[in-house]
Structures are given as structure tokens and as C-alpha cells.
Structure 1
Amino acid sequence: MPFDPPVPPARPVPLRPGRKLGPIAANVGSAHRAWLEPMRDTYLRSGLTLSELSGRVRFAKSKLSELLRGTGLYPRWEIILSLCIELNIPQWPLYRLWQQAAVEAHKSREWIERSSEKAPLTTPHTAPLDHSAFRELVENDYHLYAQVFLDDDQRDSAVSDTFDILWLCWNDALASCDTRRFAWQVLHATVMSRTPHLDGRPAFATAAFDTVILQSLTNTSARLNQLEESLELFKAMSRLPDHQLDVMVLRRLCGFSPEGASALLGIPAAAVRSNERHAVHFLESVICPLPETEGNTS
């Protein structure tokens, strides 16, 4: 059976009087959601009511509720900074994510700069040492994965945002059953939020142009044939469950060994091999047999 990682026990959520905070609005963009979700999670674990938080940051309760649900006008940095300070959230990664979401919300550069000037950051811009060490260890490999789904600019942004989001919830990552698995789930969600989807599944046919086998072919006819096969393969791969898709991307498109994929995903090498076998069985049931691939990436 495919490996399903154990789910860590949920933290008890403090009981609050009054109406429960509603969910994030469905129309909230991926950049906005990237900073809003960690902020909401921190608030929900704080034990504060909206009324209490409203009094501390001197912001109307109704407006605070809108902010935490992603409704209403895009918030200025002043109120976000006051929430950072009150909820003890790292300011610098949240500021970078807030900036990107402001651009997504069609805010002008002047609007962003004015808001930032009125509320300068008050904490150091350096991430925790263990976070920085983890980033140095996996960042290049994260880029290889993201490149399969995104163009260069989107790839760089997705990976950078992944580490900012991880910084915001680094304590949760350290407290999880496996920091590598926690981080991979953040990367996967961030990349998929930027990847075009068709019928609910990721569309990544452009990756066909970057496969090693295609780049190694000089004959035009051979390249066209390989491109057609790659497009068919990627279309079928998009139908795989997420954990199998990630294994196949790392193994067959990025050239990772089972042990290398295991270290990156935070799952046993046996689970990597099992997921790959199930994925290959499915793919061979809908297209021609796949070539064997043994990567050297560790």
C-alpha cells in the first residue's frame, strides 16, 4: 500500500466565547493566503477572542474579522505589523509575503511604500540558525522540483515563499513528527497553488521541454517523437495521487535516487519504492511501458 504519513495529534484549540471565526474566503489569492493562513493559525492557538485582540491592537472587531477571513479591502501594513507584535509572529517573512500579495491585489508600489514607511519593521531580518541551515540543505533540490511545474520566475518565487512560510511556522515544523515532511508539504502546497490546473489536476506539460532525455536528442524527428511521448506521460502523471506524483517527479524527471527522494520527502526509502511501483503500474495501464530510471542525486 502507498505510504501515508502519520498525522500528528491535533493541538487542543482554546474555547472562545462568542461567534466562531469564519473560514478564509474562497476568492482569496494564493499570495494573500500564504501569509493569512499562518497568521490565522497563530491567532487560533493564542486563546485570545476577537474582542480581546481588537482591544490590544486598537482595530475594530468587525474589521479584524474581515482581515482574518480575507474579505474587505486588502489590509495596510500598519495593522499587520501590530498583529505581528501582539501574536509574536516573525515580521520579516510576513512582510515579504504581504508585499507580494499587495501586488496580487493590484496595489501600487507607492501604496506599498507609504504603508511600509509608516510602520517599519522592529525585529532582525535573519531567520533562526536551524531554519537557515535547513534551507541551505534543501533549497537547490526544491528548485528542481518546482521547475517541473513552473517557469523560472514563478519557481524562484514559490521556493522563496516556501521558506518564508516555514519561518512563520518554524516552531510547528520542529515540533512535527518529521521537519522534512512538514517542509515538503509546505513546498508542495505552494507550488501547486501557482501551477495551472485542468479538471482539478496539475497541468505541467511545459516540463517536457526540460527533460534530460529530450535535451540529449539532436535529431529533430527524434525530439518531436520524444516530446509527444513526454506530453502523453505528463498528462497521465497528473492523474496520480499527490504522494505518488511527487515521487515520480523526483525519481523520473529530477533524477533522484530512492534514498535521495526519501531524504527530501521525509518518508522511508521503502515508501518511495512502493509509491513508485504503484505509480508505474497505473501509468503502464494507460500508456506504453516506462523506461527504467536510476538517478544519482542524493
Structure 2
Amino acid sequence: MTTPFEPPPIPVPPARHAVARPGRKLGPIAADVGSAHRAWLEPMRAQYRMSGLTLSELSVRVCLAKSKISELLRGIGLYPRWEIVLGISRELDLPDWPLYRLWKQAAFEAHKSRDWVEGCSEKTALTTAQPEAPIDHRAFRELVADAYQHYAEVFLDLEQSDTAVSDTFDILWLRWHDALASPDTRRFAWDVLRTTVMTRTPHLDGRPEFRHAAFDTVALRSLASESERLDQIAESLELFTAMSRLADTQLDLMVLRRLCGLSQKNTSALMGIALATVRSSERHAEHFLQGILCPPPETEGNPA
């Protein structure tokens, strides 16, 4: 039987492979590029690699120096104006609207003023009516959006989680062909969501910090007395601190199972992993947490 999170059958295009091109290989994204900037830059770089175009050919098409295009695709130098990004994106056949939303958000992250952003936008010919995403993308979004939101809210406040989920679907729109051509669209999408959420989540010693969620759990809301609530908060804080030490997949499925209330079957469908993997990973996660929260008592050595 189909679970609520399984997307409808959709035609899968043939897998795309990066096209070999002459000339120097495109360098990596600069280390200081922010998460919002990276959100649209990585799909643009992926599309460039698939396009078969060289930097020289792209330079001629958009009337921009090859060195400037290289810098833009690496996130080096000043944050690029929208008309330049749009010109390159149209040669690479990327959809305008999700790219613009991500570009705009990253512009504010780069401390650009609203006047600067609006000034860039006024010089381009975006359609006045926002186009719709592909129908299979919209169907997929309708199926998983609520669960994605619940997951994001464990790690982020309401405004940040809204932005993270919205960005996830914009990135998926930009990379929808790659999502469909991947071994599992659901897994591809989940990886995008997780990356988008985790780049916004505070980390402590390399582990995601989400103890604030202890103050808004189902168990806590069901308690009436103040003392019971305080005990539950302390218990939840200890649990969430231990959960942050889990491996990525184990953490995600424990969040979905324990904090979002999903069944094993729905967790499997949402994350795009086998049901057997969910069961096995959950057992290992529970064993790990048990060892931290309820360690076995130390035994005294026998006297000599």
C-alpha cells in the first residue's frame, strides 16, 4: 500500500553526466561563501558542468569576461548583480523564479540594501506572474511539505524553518532534472532538506544544537503541574543532547520517529531509505542512547 509520503509514479529522464570540456577546470567554491549564496551557486555550477559549454563560450554568449564568470561561479569577489546571474542562468536553462528568490535572500545575507536588491531587479525582464514549478515537483511538495516543516522546526525557530523549507523546494526546482534522474528522488530531496536545515542550525563541538526543542514537546504539553514540567524538560534536555551525538541518518530517523511521530513506514518513505534500514538504524540508535542515558553500574573488583 502506498504511504502518504510516496510520490506518484513519474517519468524518469536518463541520467545526466558531466560533459568533458577543454580548458582549465572550474575551481571550488570559496570557503567564505554563505549558506544562502551557496544554495543557488551549487545548482548553477552543476548545470554548467552538465551544459557542455566552456567558460569562453559562455563569455561570448553573455558578453562578460571569462575571468568574471569564473569568479561568479566560485563565489569570489563582490556579490553579483541579478542581471548578470540571470544572463548566465538563461544560457544554462535554469528557471528564473526559484533562482531569483535564492539570489535575493543571499543578497541580504551579504548585507546588500533593499534599494540595491530592488535596483538590480528593476533592470531585468522577469515575468510579472510567477510561473509554476513542474507538475511533478508540485505534487511531490504537496506530499512532503508538512513533514519537512515538522523536521525543520525541531532545529530552527518558526521563521528560520519556514525559510529553510522554502529554500529546499526552490533548490529542488533548480535541480529537478537531477532529482528525477537520481536513484531515489525522495532520498535526493531529503539530502537537500537536511543540508539546508543544518547550515542554519547552531552547532556545538561539531554537533547540532537543538535543546530548545525540549521546551515544546508533546510529552511536556500533556503535563499539568509545574514540577512535572520541569522534570520533563530536564529529561528532554538530556535526551536531545545525547541524540545530537548520533550519526546523521540515525539522528534524522529518531527525530522523525520520536519527535515528529512518524511511523517506521512513513519515515522510510520520507527519507527514501529501506524499511529494513530504518528498523536496524533505530535499534542501533536506541542502544547508543541507552548506553549514554542509562549506563550499566560500575562493578567493584574482587579483593585480592
TM-score of the aligned structures, taking structure 1 as reference length: 0.91
State which of 70, 74, 81 in structure 2 corresponds to 1:76.
Answer: 81
Larger radius of gyration: 2
- Give 1:120 deviation, angstroms: 2.3
- Give 1:12 deviation, angstroms: 4.0
Q: For 1:279-298, what aligned pairs fall within 5 Å after superposition?
A: 279-288=285-294
> What is the letter of the counterpart of residue 56 of structure 2?
S
1:150 to 2:160 alignment: no
Q: Which moved more, 1:161-170 or 1:260-269?
A: 260-269
State which of 218, 221, 230 in structure 2 corresponds to 1:224.
Answer: 230
> What is the letter of the counterpart of residue 77 of structure 1?
W
Provide the secondary structure at the position in 1 that maps to 2:199: helix
State which of 206, 226, 234 in structure 2 corresponds to 1:200.
Answer: 206
Provide the secondary structure at the position in 1 that maps to 2:236: helix
Q: For 1:117-156, what aligned pairs fall within 5 Å after superposition?
A: 117-122=122-127, 125-156=131-162
Q: For 1:43-192, what aligned pairs fall within 5 Å after superposition?
A: 43-122=48-127, 125-192=131-198
- Are residues 75 and 108 of structure 1, via their aligned partners in 2, closer, same or farther at CA, if it must alter by over 3 Å? same
Determine if contact 1:209/1:215 at 8 Å carries over to the other structure: no
Q: Which residue of 2 aligns with 1:210?
A: 216
User: How far apart, in 2, do the equivalents of 1:142 and 1:288 lie?
Assistant: 31
Q: Which residue of 2 aligns with 1:233?
A: 239
Cα root mean square deviation, aligned: 1.5
1:33 to 2:28 alignment: no
- Give 1:200 deviation, angstroms: 1.2
Identity of aligned residues (%): 70
> What is the letter of the counterpart of residue 228 of structure 2?
A
User: How far apart, in 2, do the equivalents of 1:15 and 1:173 lie?
Assistant: 22
Q: Which residue of 2 aligns with 1:293?
A: none
> What is the letter of the counterpart of residue 197 of structure 1?
H
User: How far apart, in 2, do the equivalents of 1:120 and 1:214 lie?
Assistant: 51
User: How far apart, in 2, do the equivalents of 1:41 and 1:12 lie?
Assistant: 10
Determine if contact 2:15/2:178 at 8 Å carries over to the other structure: no
Q: Which moved more, 1:241-250 or 1:46-55?
A: 46-55
User: How far apart, in 2, do the equivalents of 1:133 and 1:15 lie?
Assistant: 34
Which runs of no fewer than 5 residues in structure 2 stay unpaired? Answer: 1-13, 296-304
Could you give the per-residue CA deviations for residues 5-35 of structure 1, whole angstroms, max 9, x where no partner exists? xxxx995432222221110011111100000
User: How far apart, in 2, do the equivalents of 1:171 and 1:12 lie?
Assistant: 12
User: How far apart, in 2, do the equivalents of 1:194 and 1:218 lie?
Assistant: 34
- Give 1:259 deviation, angstroms: 0.9
Could you give the per-residue CA deviations for residues 41-87 of structure 1, whole angstroms, max 9, x where no partner exists? 00011111111111111111111111100110000000111111100
Which runs of no fewer than 5 residues in structure 1 stay unpaired? Answer: 1-8, 290-298
Q: Which residue of 2 aligns with 1:277?
A: 283
User: How far apart, in 2, do the equivalents of 1:10 and 1:126 lie?
Assistant: 24
Could you give the per-residue CA deviations for residues 140-181 of structure 1, whole angstroms, max 9, x where no partner exists? 111010010000000000000000000001011111111111
Q: Which residue of 2 aligns with 1:266?
A: 272
User: How far apart, in 2, do the equivalents of 1:277 and 1:60 lie?
Assistant: 56
Higher relative contact order (CA 8 A, sep 6+): 2
User: How far apart, in 1, do the equivalents of 2:99 and 2:206 lie?
Assistant: 29
Q: Which residue of 2 aligns with 1:242?
A: 248
> What is the letter of the counterpart of residue 182 of structure 1?
F
